[in-house]
């Protein structure tokens, strides 16, 4: 395994400009990412506990399609339901034992959406479309026409012997994972604002606060242009006057976070689409635009780290909902994340990590690794960090099952 170290990094905060976006907790894309990952974790724990391994699956094509709500001061109602498309593949049986997971996953979705949305009843306000298959993508001789390889059985395993990842994980695909460290001050600021506005603690104090928050931060030298959009919950807002008062409270919360940052020159726009004279207000009956025709799909939202940072490298891989034991793009992304954080922690050197896989190659032996930093870095330290992480991929899978990584 060759580790390539280069010194070609100019960190975003040293550039004249930087652009950072975040789609917040209740944005349809973020809801889709979070739900897809939750379904994968639920299925993984079910099969690991009952059959001794995480069986093959992927829910990374999940979609949430918008419904229609009437919204008014003090209330609202659904006119047409949200549609949930659970689209993917999952192993339906091992040997002669059927795996009963459909109702479990739908119930998981029910609990998640009823927690994240207000004034929402899953049974009446959501239509579920179940499109789960168990087909292999490999080109091969069909088992009914003489094919005998275990590859025929990866989604219909006769036993765990048909699943190489249960003993010696190999890459399912040729893919790249990349990550970086540390966060820039602007990235931290964007994360702080969104997570404060949409925290359970804030909702307990300000029950009118919405969840479909979107932030765009643009820095040119030391000047910051910040746009924040977040709805108010219609059932807790009874007039334009109340809306304006809540608006002022939101503005105050954001300004208090900005004041603690290192930035001094700010242009802040909150809900720039509002027109209170015409009662064009950002009100939502559920807290999210999923109620009003907006749609969410896995991998269209935040990247690993929780932001869409346009000056950073990121892979096109959609991480949420993919198998945490053998999907190379997912595993190498979070491994790269761990390595980057560890290098910065030990060496104090900002860095980017790139790891590529090759189909059917052992996951602990990547095809290509690059460590890019902005100064000289100790090769022995780097090699030790990388080798230790790749030697303990089971720990990476366990962290994915525990929801440790900032996938969204």
Please give the backbone phi and psi of residue 385, each rounded to the nearest 5 degrees, phi first.
-60, -45
Instruction: Flag whether 87 is in a domain.
Output: no
DSSP-assigned letters across all residues of 252-290: HHHHHHHHTSS--EEEEEESTT-BGGGTB--EESSSSGG
pLDDT in tens, 274-321: 988 877 899 999 999 999 989 999 999 999 999 999 999 988 888 999
Please give the backbone phi and psi of residue 63, each rounded to the nearest 5 degrees, phi first.
-135, 145
Instruction: Flag whether 63 is in a domain.
Output: no
List the end-to-end C-alpha distance of the chain, in Å, as a whole number.
30
DSSP-assigned letters across all residues of 207-254: TTB-S--EEEEEEETTEEEEEEE--EEGGG--SHHHHHHHHHHHHHHH
The CATH number that applies at residue 394 is 3.30.300.280
Tokens of 172: 């399912």
Return the axis-axis angle of helices 28-51 and 393-401, rounded to nearest 10°.
120
pLDDT in tens, 377-393: 889 999 999 999 999 99
> Rounded to an integer, what distance in angstroms lies between the CA atom of residue 128 and that of residue 86?
7
Instruction: Flag whether 317 is in a domain.
Output: yes
Provide the pLDDT confidence category of residue 149 given band limits of 50, 70 and 90: low
> Rounded to an integer, what distance in angstroms lies between the CA atom of residue 242 and that of residue 146?
72
Q: How far is CA 290 from CA 50, 320, 389, in A?
A: 35, 19, 39
pLDDT at 148 over 80: no
Count the neighbouring beta carbons within 10 Å of the beta carbon of residue 56.
23
Answer whether the bond into residue 58 is a cis peptide, omega within 30°.
no
Residue with tokens 């299925």: 43
Q: Which domain holds residue 374?
A: 3-13+175-183+301-401
Instruction: Flag whether 337 is in a domain.
Output: yes
Instruction: Flag whether 279 is in a domain.
Output: no
Q: How far is CA 269 from CA 199, 214, 224, 228, 247, in A?
A: 21, 12, 11, 6, 11
Mean pLDDT of 102-124: 97
Q: Return the percentage of the chain with pLDDT > 70, whole number.
A: 96
pLDDT at 141 over 60: no
Instruction: Flag whether 84 is in a domain.
Output: no
Provide the pLDDT confidence category of residue 1 given band limits of 50, 70 and 90: confident
Tokens of 2: 């060759």
Number of domains observed in the structure of the chain? 1
By the 8 A CB rule, do 99 and 326 touch? no
CA 107 to chain centre: 21
pLDDT in tens, 324-363: 998 999 999 999 999 999 999 999 999 999 999 999 899 9
Mean pLDDT of 29-37: 98
Indicate the pTM of the whole model: 0.94
Q: What is the structure's pLDDT at 69?
A: 96
Instruction: Flag whether 307 is in a domain.
Output: yes
Instruction: Flag whether 369 is in a domain.
Output: yes
Q: List all residues 6 or more positions away from 253 whose beta carbon is below 8 Å from its beta carbon.
A: 196, 197, 202
Give Rg (Cα) of the chain: 23
């Amino acid at each position: 395994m060759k580790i390539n170290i280069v010194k070609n990094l100019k960190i975003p905060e040293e550039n004249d400009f930087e652009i950072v976006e975040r789609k917040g907790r209740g944005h349809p894309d973020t809801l889709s990412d979070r739900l897809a990952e939750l379904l994968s974790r639920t299925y993984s724990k079910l099969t690991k506990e009952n059959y001794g391994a995480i069986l093959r699956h992927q829910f990374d094509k999940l979609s949430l399609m918008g419904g229609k709500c009437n919204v008014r001061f003090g209330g609202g109602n659904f006119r047409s339901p949200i549609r949930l498309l659970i689209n993917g593949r999952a192993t339906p049986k091992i040997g002669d034992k059927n795996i009963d997971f459909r109702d479990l996953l739908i119930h998981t979705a029910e609990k998640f959406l009823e927690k994240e949305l207000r004034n929402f009843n899953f049974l009446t306000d959501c239509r579920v479309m179940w499109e789960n298959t168990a087909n292999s993508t490999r080109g091969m001789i069909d088992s009914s026409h003489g094919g005998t390889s275990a590859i025929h059985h990866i989604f219909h395993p006769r036993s765990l012997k048909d699943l190489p990842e249960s003993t010696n994980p190999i890459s399912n695909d040729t893919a790249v994972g990349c990550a970086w460290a540390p966060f820039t001050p602007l990235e931290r600021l964007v994360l702080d604002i969104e997570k404060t506005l949409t925290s359970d603690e804030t909702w307990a104090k300000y029950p009118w606060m919405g969840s479909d928050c979107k932030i765009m931060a643009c820095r040119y030298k030391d000047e910051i242009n910040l746009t924040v959009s977040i709805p108010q919950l219609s059932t807790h807002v009874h007039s334009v006057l109340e809306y304006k008062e809540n608006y002022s409270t939101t503005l105050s919360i954001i300004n208090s976070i900005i004041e603690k940052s290192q930035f001094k020159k700010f242009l802040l726009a909150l809900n720039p689409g509002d027109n209170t004279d015409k009662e064009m207000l950002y009100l939502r009956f559920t807290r999210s635009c999923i109620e009003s025709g907006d749609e969410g799909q896995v991998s269209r939202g935040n990247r690993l780290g929780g932001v869409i940072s346009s000056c950073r490298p990121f892979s096109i891989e959609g991480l949420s909902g993919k198998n945490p034991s053998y999907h190379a793009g997912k595993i190498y992304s979070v491994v790269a994340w761990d390595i980057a954080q560890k290098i910065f922690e030990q060496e104090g050197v900002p860095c980017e990590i790139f790891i590529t896989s090759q189909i059917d190659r052992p996951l602990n032996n990547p095809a290509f690794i690059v460590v890019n930093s902005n100064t000289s870095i100790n090769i022995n330290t780097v090699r030790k960090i990388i080798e230790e992480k790749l030697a303990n991929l089971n720990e990476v899978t366990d962290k994915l099952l525990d929801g440790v990584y900032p996938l969204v």
